[in-house]
Amino acid sequence: MAKLLIASLVDPATHPGGAGTYTRGLVAALRRGYTVDLVGPLHAPPGPRHRSRQLMSLAKSCISELPAKVLFARQHEHRLRIRETVRAHDYDAVLINSSDMLWALDALPPLMPTILIAHNLEHQVLIQQLSNSRIFPWMFKREIAKQRRYEIEGFCRTRGVIFLSTTDMAWGCAQVPGLHALYVPPLFTEPPILRRRQPRGHLRLGYLADFAWWPNRQNWNWLNNEILTKVHRSIVVHVFGRQSEQIPASDRVVVHGFVQELGAVWDQADIMICPTRIGAGVNIKLAESLYNRMPVLATVHALRGLDCQSGSGLAIMDSAEEWVAFLNSSQADLLATQLPSEKLSRQFAADRHVQQLENFIIEVALGGEVMKDHMTLTAVTA
């Protein structure tokens, strides 16, 4: 059985956000056919001296060719552990988990086959930050250019790229013609958790997000200011996720904080909502809701990069006016009684993607190495 190492920006055992969720699913799928080891950071986010490290990375970026986000992610001890792990084991390939981890390539043997897992296009996150910031726009513009160049160079340095998003994959293939790319959405291995719906006198909305990430705080502000104030029926929003306790509670907003068991989320909600207006990559929480066959109300942006269409159990609308009209109507009550289709749910099941993952790794990394050895032998014997 081939052995893979994942050099990871997150530790899936401790990371509370979407990157940790995605990594857990991907590792579980890979372990169906490979021996998989992972070297992640020593500390769960935000980690020690988070704010001071951010500022220091931004300052260093002014005199470095590397983007600030990469300088922030690059830790000397992490690099040493990756190098020592590779030296101690006979790995067939290494997966780089996040574009911010591309510096790990320098800790690997020159001929080691590598594949990048691109969680999102980081330069697009910076573009959104620039549009929402009036401070140092010149610095943001420079960082955007550096980050974009760094990501494209990373696509070229690795043998292939696994994308979470079809939109990001299309962009990557357009920038690097001939790029070996594979779309792998968020994957889940546990059986779907069926909700125990109990009809009540009010409509219960569930919002599950990592509020430590600034786009989710902005998305909440849009929901709270543009929509909830104009919904005139009896309604309660149950909010879950890291740092959700910082959201002010009210008679319409119940804050639960970070929860370990998703069953507690599903039991508190008639409809899961994804009011995503900004943010890059894919919406992991939306995929998780659909996999567990929870009815979902989402914006177009929330479904960015996923192969999902509006239908039973999934309502898609974009403007605040559409959301308000929908939540004030009987259509919301109808959605609460529906389930996303089995086909929609199953696209996020890990077993559906195991074979294509194996084929991709064999073709791009393991098969490529066999071909390279054959070419070398042919050249020597010629």
Dump pLDDT digits (tens) for 239-260. 999 899 988 888 899 999 988 8
Looking at residue 133, its pLDDT comes to 60
User: String of b and e for 69-95 (b: at least 16 CB within 10 Å)?
Assistant: bbbbbbeeebbebbbebbeeeebbbbb
User: String of b and e for 339-378 (b: at least 16 CB within 10 Å)?
Assistant: bbbeebbebbbbeebbeebbebbbebbbebbeeeeeeeee
pLDDT at 372 exceeding the cut of 80: no
Q: How many CB atoms lie within 10 A of CB 189?
A: 14
DSSP 3-state assignment of 215? helix
The whole-angstrom separation of Cα 242 and Cα 94 is 31
Backbone angles phi, psi at 296, to 5 degrees: -130, 135
Give mean pLDDT, residues 350-363. 94
Give mean pLDDT, residues 186-198. 83
DSSP 3-state assignment of 138? helix
Q: What is the mean pLDDT of the chain?
A: 87
Name all domains of the chain by residue range, CATH numbers in brackets.
Answer: 3-187+351-381 (3.40.50.2000), 203-346 (3.40.50.2000)
% the chain with pLDDT above 70: 90
- For residue 32 the two structure tokens come to 């169906």
**CB-CB contact of 152 with 133 (8 Å):** no
DSSP state for residue 310 in the 8-state scheme: S
Looking at residue 264, its pLDDT comes to 84
Looking at residue 365, its pLDDT comes to 83
pLDDT at 122 exceeding the cut of 90: no
Dump pLDDT digits (tens) for 133-185. 665 666 678 888 899 999 999 999 999 999 999 999 999 999 999 999 999 99
**CB-CB contact of 207 with 220 (8 Å):** yes
Q: How confident is the model at residue 376 (pLDDT cuts 50, 70, 90)?
A: very low
Strand partners, 255: 239
- Quick one: which of 66, 69, 113, 68 has its CA closest to 94? 113
| pTM for the full predicted model | 0.87
Strand partners, 116: 96, 161
